Amino acid sequence: MRILLVEDEAKVSNFVARGLTEERFAVDVAADGKSGLDLATTYHYDLIILDLMLPVLDGSQVLRRLRTDNVQVPVLILTARDAVADKVGNFEAGADDYLTKPFAFAELLVRIKALLRRGPVSRSSVVRVADLELDRLAQQVRRAGKRIDLTAKEFSLLEYLMSNAGRVLSRTMIIEHVWDHSFDGITNIVDVYVRHLRGKVDDAFDPKLIRTVRGVGYSIGHGAQP
Ligand code: CA
């Protein structure tokens, strides 16, 4: 099993590389994002351990480039940051697991083994509901092949609905996911944005995809009624 470790802190990378070698993994080390990306796209690895704060190209950029190039190797993010927004962003960009520094080697090893057992998963940056298509990486939306321009909030709202197609999402769930937890603005904000969204993705098309579930919230799915 061959592992690529992309980490600029020599202390951490020595400690991890030594531990992995003792566990009989073959380990290549890159000390910046660009050389990490070069190695990752040149050789075949079973797993990549990727730090986020890296010189030249940061870990998030490396991850996005890999996934855009369709490199499906499992990626474990290693980082000092533990902000929820970072985690969500990197999972959406195609990270498979996340470990916050400082960590015990034993914990890293458990996660590595779990990822290796699972192997590469096919993941796509594109979600589809009927003829509506949303590309998370390119941040583009099309319906029936026609490009639709959305604001950042409309895009997040649609992404959340489409990632949960067929499920009913309450206004509270939507607010917590699309806005942030401290949001305390007008309570009908969700209805206002859903109306904008319908105007763009549903009004000129059939069937209508966004469904209102009275007293509960919203859902998107095939053959939904307005
Ligand atoms: Ca670093």
Arithmetic mean of pLDDT over the chain: 87
| 105 and 61 in a common domain | yes
Q: How far is the CA of 71 from the centre of ligand 1 (A)?
A: 22
In a domain, 226, yes or no: no
Q: Average pLDDT in the 216-223 region?
A: 83
Give the confidence band of 188 by pLDDT, cuts at 50, 70, 90.
confident
Cα separation values, 17 from 7, 135, 186, Å: 10, 36, 52
CATH code of the domain covering residue 207:
1.10.10.10
Are 189 and 165 within one domain? Answer: yes
pTM value is 0.56
Domain residue limits at 165:
126-220
Q: Does the pLDDT of residue 3 top 90, yes or no? A: yes
What's the pLDDT at 16?
A: 96
Model confidence at 217: pLDDT above 90: yes
Residue 211 pLDDT > 80: yes
- The whole-number pLDDT of residue 226 equals 43
Domain count, the chain: 2
Q: Are residues 110 and 30 both part of a single domain?
A: yes
Check whether 9 has a pLDDT greater than 50.
yes
Q: What is the pLDDT of residue 176?
A: 75
Q: What is the DSSP string of the chain?
A: -EEEEE-S-HHHHHHHHHHHHHTT-EEEEESSHHHHHHHHHHS--SEEEEESS-SSS-HHHHHHHHHHTT----EEEEES---HHHHHHHHHTT--EEEESS--HHHHHHHHHHHHHH------SEEEETTEEEETTTTEEEETTEEE---HHHHHHHHHHHHTTTS-EEHHHHHHHHS-TT--S-TTHHHHHHHHHHHHHTTTSSS--EEEETTTEEEE-TT---
Q: Do both 14 and 61 map to the same domain? A: yes
Which of 62, 86, 118 lies at the terminal end of a domain, its last residue?
Answer: 118
How many A from CA of 99 to the centre of ligand 1? 13
Residue 225 included in any domain: no
* 53 Cα to the center of ligand 1, angstroms: 4
Among 86, 118, 150, identify where a domain stops.
118
Among 66, 101, 118, the domain boundary falls at 118
Do 100 and 201 reside in the same domain of the chain?
A: no
Q: What is the pLDDT of residue 71?
A: 82
Q: How far is the CA of 40 from the centre of ligand 1 (A)?
A: 18
184 with 135, same domain: the answer is: yes
Q: Does 131 share its domain with 207?
A: yes
* Domain CATH code at residue 83: 3.40.50.2300
Q: How many Å lie between the centroid of ligand 1 and the Cα of residue 4?
A: 15
Q: pLDDT for 64-115, tens place per residue? A: 999 888 788 899 998 876 666 676 677 777 888 888 888 999 999 999 998 8
Mean pLDDT to the nearest integer, 164-174 = 87
18 alpha carbon to ligand 1 midpoint, in Å? Answer: 18
